[in-house]
Amino acid sequence: MSSLADRLRGVLGTRPGPPKGGSYEDDCRSYEDDPRGRLQAAHGSDAADILGGEWRESRGRKFLVVDRKYSPGYRHGRVTVADCLPPWARFELLGGTKGQMLFLDLETTGLAGGAGTYAFLVGCGWFDGGTFRLRQFFLSDFAAERALLEAVGELAGNLACIVTYNGKTFDLPLLETRFSLQRMPTPFAEIAHVDMLHPARRMWRDEEVECRLTYLEQALCGHERESDVPGFEIPSRYFQYVRSGDARPLQAVFEHNRLDIVSLAMLTARAAQLLEEGPSAAITGREALGLGRLYERAGLMEDAVASYRRAVAAGVMSIRLEALRASAIVLRRLRRYEEAAAAWRDLLSFPQCSPAHAREASEALAVHHEHRARDLEMARTFALQSLSLHGTVARQQATRHRLARLDRKLGCEPASQSAALF
């Protein structure tokens, strides 16, 4: 009959055998007491040597810290650190604030979140003068989590802003859960948080490609990763280290995390610089359209209109249609009614205009010609056009009321004039 240890070996996979003269059960007990010592010795090297860091100790528990510094001339594809240096005058339009910012990215034991998911690697980056510094906190022993979180909290102590990529959904909630489970106050509660996933989707999303950080890194920076570890493989590499003490599979994980943080910093710099330079700096119609959305959210309507016009001039058809619609709405808010009407008419002139957009434009033009231009015949024409596009019941009812009112003003017979539409 096989022992429990034999069955565990079958579930967990092969791990280095125990030292001569010892049993597997002894090795398990030894690992619980010292999860690095004997197993790392079996591989002849320490994780600090392999990963290029140093051990820190607190409360009798050790965790690993890896520091890197990137000079102003460091090139990430075609972009250098010197190209990205703050301050950025309009960074607040992304949700940031003036002061020290921290770029954060986690590698975790799973994607489900919750109490059972650990952040085994906390990567932090920040600009320091003309350089970019990066520090990674590695949880080599689950019992050292409190000590590691204290070190992260110390680094975050004087921050004004934290920047993540999908951090509002995943990174920050997970990290705050870990602080709560350790009965520690989170250092991020009162700090502004910029999640760059949302501005990135507005400005750089490709309909055929998911808006991943690695895609943006290649599209915006011209940097293509070689032999990058797939994200789904990262937890298994960590558990392999936990079982064996061999840190070599984690080298690629640390590099993956470093590249994510550097790319996040350069992506944020690109967005902030675009907001500062204005729509003329937008290279694509998509970028100009996203820029307009950000200006509009911030209440900078004139800048938004200029960006939408840039998108109409530079974008593909789908972008041009979206930009015309956005432009018309903003111009109407600015009470520039004739310009808004011109944008709606331009939208209707495209054969590719969707029925939903055509209905919205027709309704807007019916209102404009009835109440602004005082051209009741043209208002009636657009109302009939809107009715023919079969909107919701409420919209159709509102349009029929409008037609009835226009017919009364014009002295028309409503039933005979519009019967052909039904």
pLDDT given for residue 150 in this prediction: 96
Give pTM, 2 decimals: 0.84
User: How far is CA 362 from its chain centroid?
Assistant: 36
CA dist., res. 23 & res. 41, Å (int) = 17
Contact assessment for residue 340 and residue 321, using Cβ atoms and an 8 Å cutoff: no
- Report pLDDT for 309: 97
Reported residue count of the chain is 422
Cα dihedral: 143, 147, 152, 155 (round 10): -170
Q: What is the pLDDT of residue 167?
A: 96
Query: Nearest 5°: CA angle at 368, between 367 and 369?
Result: 95
What pLDDT is attached to residue 30?
A: 38
Give residue 390's pLDDT.
Answer: 79
Report yes or no: 218 and 210 within 8 Å, Cβ to Cβ.
no
Q: What is the pLDDT of residue 144?
A: 96
Question: What local confidence, expressed as pLDDT, does residue 45 receive?
Answer: 66
Query: What letter would DSSP give residue 283?
Result: -
Phi then psi dihedrals of residue 208, to 5 deg:
-100, -5
- Report how far apart, in Å, the C-alpha atoms of 269 and of each of 75, 89, 196, 275 are: 14, 11, 11, 10
pLDDT tens track, the chain, 422 positions: 444 344 434 434 433 333 333 333 333 333 344 544 444 444 446 999 999 999 999 888 999 999 999 999 999 999 999 999 999 999 999 999 999 999 999 999 998 777 889 999 999 999 999 999 999 999 999 999 999 999 999 999 889 999 999 999 999 999 999 999 999 999 998 899 999 999 999 999 876 667 899 999 999 999 999 889 999 999 999 999 999 999 999 999 999 999 999 999 999 999 999 999 999 999 999 999 999 999 999 999 999 999 999 999 998 999 999 999 999 999 999 999 999 999 999 999 999 999 999 999 999 999 999 999 999 999 999 999 999 887 789 988 999 999 999 999 888 655 444 434 43
Distance CA 244, CA 17 (A): 10
The confidence score (pLDDT) of residue 50 equals 96
Token code pair at residue 10? 């079958």
d(CA 72, CA 327): 40
Check residue 158 and give its pLDDT: 85
Q: How far is 274 from 141, CA to CA, in rounded Å?
A: 43
**Hey, what are 358's tokens?**
């055509």
Specify whether the CB–CB gap between 327 and 309 falls below 8 A: yes
**Tokens representing residue 381 in the block:** 């024409």
Nearest to 361 by CA among 378, 346, 376: 346
Q: Is 9 exposed, middle or buried (0-12, 13-18, 19+ CB in 10 A)?
A: middle
Q: What CA–CA distance (Å, rounded) separates 304 from 312? A: 12
Name 2's Cβ contacts closer than 8 Å, sequence gap at least 6: none
Q: Which of 305, 313, 315 is nearest to 278 (CA)?
A: 305
